[in-house]
C-alpha cells in the first residue's frame, strides 16, 4: 500500500490527533448528557408513580370518610325519628340522550347539608343487566372536578325500573350544575361507560 502523500508531516499528524481528541471529548460529553437525561427521566417517572399512589390513597381515604359520614347521617336521622319511619328524600334521574352545550337549568332545591338523600340512576332501556359492580362519579358540570364518587354498587329494580342506587348527604349538592357518570366494571377490572346524567341545584 502506498503511503499517503504528506501524511508523514508532523504538523498534519498532530492535526489529526487533535481532531480525534476533540471527537472523543464530544462523544464523552454527549454520553454524560444522555446518562443525566436518562437519570432525570427515571426520577420523573418514579415521582409520577409516587404521586399517583398518593392520589389513589387520598381518594380511598376520602371515600371512607364519605361513607362514614353518610352512615352517621342515616343513624342521626333514625334517632331523630324516635323509632318511627324515617322519611328520606329520593332523587331519581334518567340517562341523557345527548349532552347539551350549556349547563342545565336549576330544578332541585338546595338540600340541608346533613340531609341523607337516596340517589337513583335509571339505567338505559337497552343496557344489558350485569352482576359486576357499578361506580358513580359526580362532577362539576363546567370544570369536571369530581365532588363525590362511590364504587361497588349493584343494580336493583324499583317500580319495574332497573336502576343503581346510592346514598349521599346533602352537602354534596351545593348550588350549581353537575354531571353524573355511571360506569360498570368489565373484564380486566376496566370501567365501561353506562350512562350520563345531569342535575342543577338552585342557589
> What are the DSSP calls for 76-123, one per residue?
HHHHHTTTS-----EEEEPPPSS--SSPPPP-BPPPPTT-EEEEEEEP
Question: What average pLDDT does the segment 25-53 reach?
Answer: 80
Q: Average pLDDT, whole number, for the chain? A: 79
Of 86 and 161, which is predicted with more confidence?
161
Of 66 and 52, which is predicted with more confidence?
52
* Dihedral (CA of 5, 10, 15, 21) sign: positive
Edge-first strand listing for the sheet containing 146-153: 146-153, 134-140, 176-185, 191-201
> Quick one: pLDDT band at residue 85, thresholds 50, 70, 90?
very low
- Domain end, chosen from 57, 87, 117, is at 87
Question: What average pLDDT does the segment 125-140 reach?
Answer: 83
Q: Is the pLDDT of residue 36 over 80?
A: yes
Check which CATH number belongs to the domain holding 160 and give it.
2.60.40
94 with 165, same domain: the answer is: yes
**Is residue 20 a part of any domain in this protein?**
yes
Question: What average pLDDT does the segment 63-70 reach?
Answer: 60
Domains in the chain: how many in total?
2
128 with 174, same domain: the answer is: yes
- Domain end, chosen from 87, 121, 153, is at 87
- Domain end, chosen from 43, 64, 87, is at 87
**Is residue 1 a part of any domain in this protein?**
no
Q: Report the distance separating Cα 111 and Cα 90, nearest Å.
A: 11
**Is residue 37 a part of any domain in this protein?**
yes
**Is residue 2 a part of any domain in this protein?**
no
Q: Which residues partner with 157 through β-bridges?
A: 162
Q: φ and ψ at 141, to 5 degrees? A: -65, -40
69 with 132, same domain: the answer is: no
Amino acid at each position: 500500500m502506498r503511503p499517503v502523500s504528506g501524511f508523514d508531516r508532523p504538523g498534519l499528524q498532530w492535526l489529526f490527533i487533535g481532531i480525534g481528541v476533540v471527537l472523543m471529548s464530544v462523544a464523552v460529553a454527549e454520553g454524560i448528557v444522555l446518562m443525566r437525561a436518562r437519570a432525570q427521566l427515571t426520577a420523573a417517572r418514579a415521582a409520577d408513580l409516587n404521586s399517583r399512589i398518593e392520589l389513589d390513597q387520598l381518594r380511598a381515604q376520602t371515600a371512607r370518610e364519605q361513607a362514614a359520614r353518610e352512615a352517621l347521617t342515616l343513624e342521626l336521622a333514625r334517632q331523630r325519628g324516635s323509632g318511627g319511619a324515617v322519611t328520606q328524600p329520593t332523587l331519581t334521574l334518567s340517562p341523557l340522550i345527548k349532552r347539551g352545550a350549556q349547563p342545565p337549568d336549576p330544578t332541585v332545591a338546595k338540600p340541608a347539608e346533613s340531609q341523607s338523600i337516596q340517589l337513583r340512576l335509571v339505567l338505559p332501556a337497552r343496557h344489558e343487566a350485569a352482576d359486576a359492580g357499578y361506580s358513580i362519579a359526580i362532577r362539576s358540570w363546567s370544570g369536571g372536578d369530581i365532588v363525590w364518587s362511590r364504587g361497588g354498587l349493584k343494580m336493583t329494580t324499583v317500580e319495574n325500573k332497573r336502576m343503581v342506587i346510592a346514598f349521599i348527604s346533602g352537602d354534596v349538592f351545593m348550588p350549581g350544575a353537575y354531571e353524573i357518570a355511571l360506569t360498570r366494571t368489565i373484564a380486566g377490572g376496566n370501567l365501561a361507560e353506562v350512562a350520563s346524567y345531569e342535575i342543577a341545584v338552585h342557589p
